[in-house]
Amino acid sequence: MAVHFSAHEVKVGLKHRTRLKQFIRELFEREEQGLSNLQYVFCTDEYLLQINEEFLKHDTYTDIVTFELSDDPRVTEGEIYISIDRVKENAEKYEVTENYELHRVIFHGALHLCGYKDKSKKDEALMRQKEDEYLQLYFQ
């Protein structure tokens, strides 16, 4: 159950990485989803736009792109790309700290890999509820 963090052309002020990795593993356990390997890549808007265009055929900026790489739906092996530029902008927009917004997006990606969606209003509401639940647990 490995969780890794790396950065591509950005600096990330991510503190308590060991604690966060353990919490992400616990998130998967709580959601009853197996976890084999998970790679988070923090990057720029431009890098994530390139990924979004190439793999998803979307010509838009986004804060996160999540890829499930496992053939077994019970066990996650994934990659999550997070735009630090979007995180900073969204933190300002929603009047939260960059650290809080970064963790929200980190958990959001993990929840996608656990099967949560956010395309419909109903699915989005459940996703926000789960994000809030894990943010509260993590920052308590």
pLDDT per residue as tens digits for the range 12-63: 989 999 999 999 999 999 999 999 999 999 999 999 999 999 998 889 899 9
Query: What is the value of pTM for the model shown?
Result: 0.96
Q: 67 has which bridge partners?
A: 79
Contacts of 126 (CB under 8 A, 6+ apart): 116
Indicate if the pLDDT at residue 95 is higher than 90.
yes
- How far CA 121 is from CA of 17, 118, 124, 126, 135, in Å, comes to 33, 7, 5, 9, 21
Residue 13's pLDDT is what?
87
Q: Which residue has the tokens 């735009």?
A: 83
Average pLDDT, the chain: 96
Indicate if the pLDDT at residue 131 is higher than 90.
yes
